């Protein structure tokens, strides 16, 4: 079973469906007993969904700086190993 730091390191890949079945099982076992990591993963899922929606919309009220910051955050989360 993974430690909290290992779950955090793999959170982006979990949400993107890029983990092996064994890694997903280890994370699920950890999430079954760790409330903090469950909350963290849920926050990551909400953030990913909001970013996806933001990328789909061309709302002029959203500044290009905000869009760029979200894209950079997504890239950093997706490139962790």
Domain residue spans of the chain: 4-78
The per-residue pLDDT for range 36-79, each reduced to its tens digit, is: 999 999 999 999 888 888 777 665 666 788 888 888 888 877 75
DSSP conformation letters of 2-23: --HHHHHHHHHHHHTT-S-HHH
Task: Output the CA angle 4-5-11, nearest 5 degrees.
Answer: 85
What pTM was computed for the model? 0.65
**Signed CA dihedral, 72, 74, 77, 81: sign only:** negative
């Amino acid at each position: 079973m993974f430690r909290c730091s290992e779950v955090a390191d793999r959170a982006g890949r979990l949400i993107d469906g890029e983990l092996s079945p064994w890694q997903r099982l280890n994370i699920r076992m950890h999430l079954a007993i760790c409330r903090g990591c469950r909350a963290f993963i849920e926050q990551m899922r909400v953030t990913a969904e909001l970013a996806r929606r933001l990328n789909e919309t061309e709302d002029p009220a959203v500044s290009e700086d905000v869009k760029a910051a979200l894209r950079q955050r997504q890239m950093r989360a997706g490139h962790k190993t």
